């Protein structure tokens, strides 16, 4: 019986953080965990945690008694998370399994590697008609940053708020509405991508959901754990997939807002067209 904590060294913590650029490794989070201190010009603040995949002490979440002390405090047993996610994985270790966290870590490091290879993007000019601009406003209105945040942080467990699903249902119903078709090919391409993402989400979501007054009933893992323990993994994977598809909807929808943010008025022209300095 050991009652020691197999903590990471400072060097291991720093390396865990650096390998993901200080960004939380939870797939739906992307929160930056480090920044300048507001009170001093030579200090920083961190809301990041070098979390243990298998707990550092006996009895802790995902503790593995067969693991050597050496491995337990090694970088392979760590994952960089924001403080919210560090807490979340420890209060619900049955859902946040070792395999799940290892996958988070691999994927987060892949995302960090991809960011490292990004080149600065030159911009070009795109002209948008006033009618397309109205459609653009319509889309950036529906997919507000609040909605996109809610979509990104939704856990898709027993209850899912109507506000999320109803917005997507309306968009799904209006997918063939000619009034919403863009003349600009690039914008129309964005709309098509969004429609495909919403279709994929709805097809998957409707398999397990039932509409209700205040919220949609969805996969209740606690109940499944009680009644059909052998199916927990299957349903946990379905929830993961739902979240992934929701993130894809968000990624497609946020493009309208990004496009809008590059708009500027075309000088010396009538007000029928607007100019966009848009990245290639």
Q: How far is the CB of 162 from Zn ion (least distance, A)?
A: 26
What is the rounded end-to-end Cα distance, in angstroms, of the chain?
Answer: 60
| Per CB under 5 A, 198 contacts Zn ion | no
> Cβ of residue 104: shortest distance to Zn ion, in angstroms?
10
Residue from 16, 20, 23, 24 touching Zn ion (CB under 5 A): that is 24
Token pair 């993130």: residue: 247
Of 10, 27, 29, the residue nearest 78 (C-alpha): 10
Give least dist CB 241 to Zn ion, A.
20
Give yes or no for residue 16 binding Zn ion (CB under 5 A): no
Helix and strand tally (H, E) in the chain? 10, 9
Q: Which of 16, 20, 23, 29 binds Zn ion (CB under 5 A)?
A: 29
Q: Which two tokens stand for residue 93?
A: 């270790």
Based on the shown chain and the rule CB under 5 A, indicate whether residue 26 belongs to the binding site for Zn ion.
yes
In the chain, % helix, strand, coil (3-state, to 5) comes to: 50, 15, 35
Q: Which is nearer to Zn ion, 86 or 128 (CB)?
A: 86
> Would you say 28 or 215 has its CB closer to Zn ion?
28
Closest distance of CB 115 from Zn ion, Å = 16
Least distance to Zn ion, CB of residue 86, Å: 8
Compare residues 29 and 133 and give the one whose CB is closer to Zn ion: 29
Q: How far apart are alpha carbons 230 and 153 in whole angstroms?
A: 27
Tokens of 25: 């490794």
Buried b (16+ CB within 10 A) or exposed e, 181-217: ebebeebeebbebbbebbbebbebbeebbeeeeeebe
Nearer to Zn ion, 19 or 262 (CB): 19
Q: Which of 31/273 has CB closer to Zn ion?
A: 31
Site map (CB under 5 A) of Zn ion, residues 48-87, x = contact: ----------------------------------x--x--
Q: Single out the segment in contact with Zn ion by CB under 5 A; choices: 8-16, 27-35, 173-181, 263-271.
A: 27-35
- In terms of C-beta density within 10 A (0-12 exposed, 13-18 middle, 19 or more buried), how is residue 109 classed? middle
Interface ranges with Zn ion (CB under 5 A)? 24, 26, 29, 31, 82, 85
């Amino acid at each position: 019986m050991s009652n020691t904590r197999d903590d990471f060294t400072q060097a291991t913590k720093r390396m865990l953080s650096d390998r993901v650029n200080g960004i939380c490794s939870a797939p739906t989070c992307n929160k930056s965990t480090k920044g300048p201190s507001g009170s001093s010009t030579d200090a920083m603040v961190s809301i990041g945690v070098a979390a243990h995949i298998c707990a550092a002490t006996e009895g802790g979440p995902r503790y593995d008694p067969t693991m050597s002390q050496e491995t337990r405090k090694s970088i392979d047993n760590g994952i960089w998370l924001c403080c919210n996610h560090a807490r979340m994985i420890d209060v619900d270790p049955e859902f946040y399994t070792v395999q799940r966290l290892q996958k988070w870590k691999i994927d987060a490091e892949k995302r960090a590697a991809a960011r490292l290879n990004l080149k600065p993007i030159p911009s070009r000019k795109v002209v948008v008609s006033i009618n397309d601009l109205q459609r653009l406003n319509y889309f950036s209105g529906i997919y507000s940053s609040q909605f996109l945040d809610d979509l990104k942080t939704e856990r898709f467990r027993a209850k899912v708020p109507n506000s999320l699903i109803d917005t997507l249902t309306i968009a799904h119903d209006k997918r063939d509405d000619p009034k919403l078709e863009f003349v600009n090919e690039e914008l129309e391409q964005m709309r098509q991508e969004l429609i495909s993402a919403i279709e994929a989400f709805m097809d998957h979501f409707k398999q397990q959901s039932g509409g209700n007054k205040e919220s949609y009933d969805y996969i209740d893992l606690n109940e499944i754990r009680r009644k059909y323990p052998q199916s927990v993994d299957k349903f946990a994977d379905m929830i993961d997939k739902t979240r992934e598809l929701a993130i894809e909807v968000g990624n497609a929808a946020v493009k309208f807002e990004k496009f809008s943010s590059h708009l500027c008025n075309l000088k010396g022209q009538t007000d029928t067209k607007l100019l966009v300095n848009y990245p290639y």
